[in-house]
Amino acid sequence: MMMRLVLAALVALLGLTACQVGLDVRAGGTLFHALGGAEFILHRDITIVPGRVRVIFQEGVLAHAASEFEPHCELEVRKIREEPQSVPAGTYRIGTVRGEVHYVRHLQNKLMLAALGDLSLASDSSSEWYMYAYHMTLHSDLHQEAPTLICGGAYNYPFYADYPGIQEIQEALGDYATLRLH
């Protein structure tokens, strides 16, 4: 009887630890450990237009908006200002790296096929899309208000969505910046 009680308590404890917030099964194949302490090298000054807090790098191009179907990186400052803000070129140390999941729900498109009877097509019928993103706190001895670097993968169905790899991040940044891992 006592053994059953102990076994039941152990199963309950293991079950509860699996439900903890922030558990990410993808963490084994991600860059979290490699990015912490790495360097973000911005090769040229970047200007953020008035009324905005970020610029976006995608496929090596600097923009103010991104396609949700390709990996991208964002350089984000802390405050919206009415005058242009500059992020100076230089080397920034990456401090805290945390993961974030961005969620989008699209309206489902119904596909109807005539005269197919009981035929069913294999598909991910989910109307939910996810993007996994790294949020990296940048630090600099030369710049008081260092920006935040956010690099996310493409939005995709839940099963296929993942954090971007180092090559995808570098392709998004293009010639504007480089990540140097340690």
* Domain range list for the chain: 99-105+127-136+152-161
pLDDT of 176 above 60? yes
Q: What is the pLDDT of residue 21?
A: 35
Q: Are 145 and 121 in contact (CB under 8 A)?
A: no
pLDDT tens figures, 95-154: 999 999 988 776 655 544 454 444 444 455 567 889 999 999 999 988 888 999 999 999
* Distance (Å) of CA 25 to CA 49, 131, 149: 38, 15, 23
Q: What is the pLDDT of residue 1?
A: 66
- DSSP for 43-83, please give it: -S-EEE-TT--EEEEETTEEESS--TTS-EEEEE-SS--SS
